A and B are shown apart, each in its own frame.
Chain A
Amino acid sequence: MTTTTATSPVLEATGVTMRFGGLTAVRGVDLTVNSGEIVGLIGPNGAGKTTFFNCLTGLYVPTEGRVAYKGTVLPPKPHLVTSAGIARTFQNIRLFANMTVLENVLVGRHTRTKEGLWSALLRGPGFRKAEAASRERAMELLEFIGLAHKADHLSRNLPYGEQRKLEIARAMASDPGLLLLDEPTAGMNPQETRATEELVFAIRDRGIAVLVIEHDMRFIFNLSDRVACLVQGQKLVEGTSDIVQNDERVIAAYLGTPFEGAPGSEEAAEVEAAEAAEAQGTTSTEGPAQ
């Protein structure tokens, strides 16, 4: 699906390693995301996907390796990463629960506006204009994800699926060049999952590259131009959906055959398979494909 011709790298992560004491959660991962691309990141639970995201966004300072956005190396500070142009969502939804839907998105505009305390106190024409522009942009984004009619609701009162969408809108409010989605369809029903798929394509069509972590295999292989598979903190394979889908090591990791004698991967993979099967089971009437 790589239709874009001029593919300049948006994200270049090289040799990213993250150790927690004795545990190496991410081990020397290289990953490149080009502009206009949707890249999928898969792997069993505990493979280090979220940790890798945290390293990219500065929530963790990687033990080794470097992360560059459009050619410049990023400092490991979350707010600087966001203002550089990488925005993210969280696996466990982290909205500002007691702010309204609109306010959540307005907070996302933070890096693209600069009115400080003084202009807030003096309320000059510049302040009003900036505030109006922010609101307009936020409403436009709510329109885009289909939550404009709930702009004044508290975000904590939204249904689960809409909370996930709102997190995406909030991230998009910072006008990112790259959007990191951590399991955007977790807990969604099949209809919502399909809608999310459309949403990710629409985001890409707005010129935003997307790196997405996902468990739902059908979702990820449909969506991604390229897929990387992380197992035990290491990148196992990377390539187009077809390649990764048929790679026997990936199948092994997901279906429970021991992989390179790595301890623990078996259990992880079993859990993973069971979960995937469960997810499948709810979508169709067929029995789980064991």
Chain B
Amino acid sequence: MATTETPKTTAQTTDTPRGLIALPQGIARVLIAVGAVGTIASTFMSWTYTSDFPGDLTYYGSPAGLQILALVAGALTLLYALTLWHVRGLNWLNPASAVAPVALAAASAFAVCWFSAIAIAVDLEGLIALDPGAYIAAIFSLAALLGALALPQPGDTPKSYLAKPENIPTAAKLPEWVERLVITAATAAALIVFAYGIGVDPDASETFLGYILLIVFGTWALFTAGLFDRISVLNARHKGFATSMAFLAAALFPFVENDEHNSNLGVNILVVATVALGLNIVVGLTGLLDLGYVAFLGVGAYAAALVSGSEFSRFSGVQFPFWAAMLTGMLASLVFGVLIGAPTLRLRGDYLAIVTLGFGEIFRITVNNLDGTSGPNITNGPNGISMIPDLEIFGFNFGTAHNIGSITIGRFANYFLLMLIITAIVVVVFTRAADSRIGRSWIAIREDETAATAMGINGFRVKLIAFALGASLAGLAGTVSAHVGYSVNPAPYQFAGSVPPNSAFLLAAVVLGGMGTVSGPILGATLLYLLPEKLGFLKEYQLFAFGIALVILMRFRPEGIIANRRRQLEFHDTGQLDIPESGLPDTTVGVTKAGA
């Protein structure tokens, strides 16, 4: 038989790679840079003549609202355009000199500018409402985007403009202090971005939508540049330092965003994030679908309220110091968790979900009925326990404002800092438990319960520990939330509702953020809490929007926004698929074929 091999014609390699838009590369680059500069310049002009549009975009010389976002997007585009010219020092930002980050940065500027222009035209009386600045922003951001699309296409399909290129070179090891500086800068940037988002006026939904657009495209751009991978490598290398920086940044939040309303938002976010992290032990690690988890938050809150000394409490004479109230709340939730867990954890899968859903509702209905008429008076029924006094720890009254230097720390800021400590405790508990014998047995149960028991794991016991731990962490968060909110009542502790701490919300936060990770549920809870808060028009469609968001996410990123390394491998098979073994023992096959 003919054994001559005709070498494959390598037509693709001789072709010069072309962009989607036929333009010489040099011109394309210049177009991007000019577009970016023009976009930046436009933000210093007036975009509309009336101050009716949220954010007041009428000033020359000082960007505001959406203009600031356009400015940032333009700067990001310019920065990434410069990486294409291999400007010294910028190479670190785009190690692979990839096209995708440039295209996505340009897309972020385009999205923000065009969204602003359209929003102004729609909100006000049409195109006449636009000042020249808006036209300039629109034209230049479009130019930058067109320039980016004229860059040589990195892959086979136009989609590759949005995809992270493979084999991004890993960063050379920098001096210790530089690495720490990078971590610090990244954390500071995250804090500023987060504080800006929280600080957006709730009436300025347009600004917040622009913020979301910028965040989505901007982070996507940084992701495709491989920056997140680099940062996470650095974080892993300086684990302790990175963690303390993250908490320091969070602790600085009330100082950066010195406003009681926003601090209140911050506390509430911390509460739901902490509870979501507790739920992550049960759902993410152990794989037990608990649909009644919010009840444990309620148990903790009620326990703390009952011993708070409130005159509406059944035990109004009793006022525990906070540490004792905290333990009481945790213990009450723990007991409740064991009581629910012991009979139900022998069930598997769907049955457990239904039963926990039932128990969650039982808690709310019972609390509603312990009002003195339907049952003994313990919880004061639907009215709940109000006028919960503020905490006082070591003479520090959480209810009053304190001055630290020139900065006033208000009531909610006080509670924010307290809640942050609780969150830190829960983070430590989660990470330590997950990376241990018990954590591995949780994951083993999640993966295959039969095999896990055959490996000697007492499934029931281990699941009960997860359930009880999750419950007591939620109870712990509940004790603080009772004091923050002045009162507790049964309404929020339901399965699904329009106000956050409900079981469906918590579950969505875990799934959206990324199951089994620490930062995932925190991010998920933050997003889910903040979005309806800032986008007033969403209020009534919140659950609907949840649903859509989850469907989209499950389609495109089933492992959640922040992927556990494991889950990422599970869904995307990155890297280490069955690489053919070197020297496959297939020689016999070859021989028969040759002989035939």
Chain A positions within 8 Å of B, measured between CB atoms, are 57, 59, 78-79, 82-83, 87-88, 90, 94-100, 103, 106-111, 113, 115-117, 119-121, 123, 127, 130-131, 134, 153-154, 156-159, 170-171, 174, 189, 191, 285
Residues of A within 8 A of B435 (CB): 120
Interface residues in B, total, Cβ within 8 A: 38
Residues of B within 8 A of A156 (CB): 569-570
B343 within 8 A of A: no
CA distance A83 to B458 in the complex (A): 10
> What are 11 A-B residue pairs whose CB atoms fall within 8 Å in the complex?
A94-B448, A98-B567, A98-B569, A107-B441, A108-B455, A110-B440, A116-B438, A117-B433, A120-B433, A131-B436, A191-B585
CA distance A222 to B456 in the complex (A): 31
Q: Which of B432, B433, B452, B570 contacts A98 (CB 8 A)?
A: B570
Contacts A107-B444, A117-B438, A120-B439 known; 11 new A-B pairs at CB < 8 A: A88-B454, A94-B451, A110-B437, A110-B440, A115-B438, A116-B437, A119-B436, A121-B433, A123-B432, A157-B569, A170-B455
Which residue on chain B has the smallest CB distance to residue A100?
B566
**A78–B570 contact, CB under 8 A?**
no
Which residue on chain B has the smallest CB distance to residue A93?
B451
CA distance A99 to B448 in the complex (A): 11
CA distance A108 to B456 in the complex (A): 8
Residues of A within 8 A of B438 (CB): 115-117, 120
**B573–A157 contact, CB under 8 A?**
yes
CA distance A154 to B452 in the complex (A): 17
**A82–B437 contact, CB under 8 A?**
no
Q: Which of A83, A100, A127, A131 contacts B456 (CB 8 A)?
A: A83
**B457–A107 contact, CB under 8 A?**
yes
9 smallest beta-carbon distances between A and B, as pairs: A111-B456, A120-B436, A82-B456, A96-B447, A94-B451, A78-B453, A107-B444, A79-B458, A110-B456
Which residue on chain B has the smallest CB distance to residue A153?
B576
Q: Which of B448, B459, B469, B577 contacts A79 (CB 8 A)?
A: B459
B125 within 8 A of A: no
**A96–B443 contact, CB under 8 A?**
yes
Q: Which of A82, A98, A115, A171 contacts B566 (CB 8 A)?
A: A98
**B581–A159 contact, CB under 8 A?**
yes
Residues of B within 8 A of A134 (CB): 437
Residues of B within 8 A of A95 (CB): 448, 451
CA distance A171 to B459 in the complex (A): 17
**A79–B570 contact, CB under 8 A?**
no
Residues of A within 8 A of B585 (CB): 189, 191
Residues of B within 8 A of A115 (CB): 436-438
Helix, strand, loop or mixed for chain B's interface?
A: helix
**A94–B450 contact, CB under 8 A?**
yes
Q: A110-B437, A116-B438 are in contact. Are A157 and B444 (CB under 8 A)?
A: no
Q: How far is the CB of B372 from chain A (nearest CB, A)?
A: 40
Residues of B within 8 A of A109 (CB): 437
**A107–B455 contact, CB under 8 A?**
yes
Residues of A within 8 A of B450 (CB): 59, 78, 94
**A99–B566 contact, CB under 8 A?**
yes
Which residue on chain B has the smallest CB distance to residue A180?
B454
B 454-472 binary contact with A (CB < 8 Å = 1; else 0): 1111110000010001000
Complex interface residues of chain B between 548 and 592 (CB less than 8 A to chain A): 566-567, 569-570, 573, 576-578, 581, 585, 592
B429 within 8 A of A: yes
**A79–B457 contact, CB under 8 A?**
yes
**A127–B436 contact, CB under 8 A?**
yes
**B451–A96 contact, CB under 8 A?**
yes
Q: How far is the CB of B451 from chain A (nearest CB, A)?
A: 4
Q: A110-B455, A117-B438 are in contact. Are A96 and B576 (CB under 8 A)?
A: no
Q: How far is the CB of B409 from chain A (nearest CB, A)?
A: 31
Q: How far is the CB of B596 from chain A (nearest CB, A)?
A: 12
Q: How far is the CB of A133 from chain B (nearest CB, A)?
A: 11
Q: Which of A59, A94, A107, A121 contacts B440 (CB 8 A)?
A: A107
Residues of B within 8 A of A117 (CB): 433, 438, 465, 469
Residues of B within 8 A of A159 (CB): 578, 581
Residues of A within 8 A of B452 (CB): 96, 107
**B444–A120 contact, CB under 8 A?**
no
**A79–B456 contact, CB under 8 A?**
yes
**B440–A106 contact, CB under 8 A?**
yes
Q: Which of B456, B459, B469 has the most CB of A within 10 A?
A: B456
CA distance A59 to B429 in the complex (A): 33
Q: How far is the CB of A157 from chain B (nearest CB, A)?
A: 5
**B443–A99 contact, CB under 8 A?**
yes
Which residue on chain B has the smallest CB distance to residue A114?
B437
CA distance A95 to B448 in the complex (A): 8
CA distance A95 to B455 in the complex (A): 11
**B576–A154 contact, CB under 8 A?**
yes
Q: How far is the CB of A129 from chain B (nearest CB, A)?
A: 13
Residues of B within 8 A of A94 (CB): 448, 450-451, 454
Q: Which of A103, A131, A174 has the most CB of B within 10 A?
A: A103
Which residue on chain B has the smallest CB distance to residue A174?
B456
B 488-530 binary contact with A (CB < 8 Å = 1; else 0): 0000000000000000000000000000000000000000000
Which residue on chain A has the smallest CB distance to residue B429?
A121
Residues of B within 8 A of A120 (CB): 432-433, 435-439
Residues of B within 8 A of A97 (CB): 447-448, 570
Q: How far is the CB of B467 from chain A (nearest CB, A)?
A: 12
**B457–A154 contact, CB under 8 A?**
no
Residues of A within 8 A of B569 (CB): 98, 154, 156-157
Residues of B within 8 A of A153 (CB): 576
**A99–B447 contact, CB under 8 A?**
yes
Which residue on chain B has the smallest CB distance to residue A134?
B437
Q: Which of A87, A100, A121, A157 contacts B432 (CB 8 A)?
A: A121
Residues of A within 8 A of B566 (CB): 98-100, 154
Which residue on chain A has the smallest CB distance to residue B437?
A115
Residues of B within 8 A of A121 (CB): 428-429, 432-433
Residues of B within 8 A of A100 (CB): 566
Which residue on chain B has the smallest CB distance to residue A84?
B456
Residues of A within 8 A of B581 (CB): 159
Residues of A within 8 A of B455 (CB): 82, 87, 107-108, 110-111, 170-171, 174
CA distance A234 to B592 in the complex (A): 44
Residues of A within 8 A of B570 (CB): 97-98, 154, 156
Q: How far is the CB of B526 from chain A (nearest CB, A)?
A: 26
CA distance A171 to B469 in the complex (A): 29
Q: A121-B429, A156-B570 are in contact. Are A99 and B454 (CB under 8 A)?
A: no
Residues of A within 8 A of B454 (CB): 57, 59, 78-79, 82, 87-88, 90, 94
Q: A99-B566, A103-B440, A117-B469 are in contact. Are A157 and B577 (CB under 8 A)?
A: yes
Residues of A within 8 A of B437 (CB): 106, 109-110, 113, 115-116, 120, 130-131, 134
CA distance A191 to B586 in the complex (A): 11
CA distance A202 to B458 in the complex (A): 30
CA distance A242 to B432 in the complex (A): 56
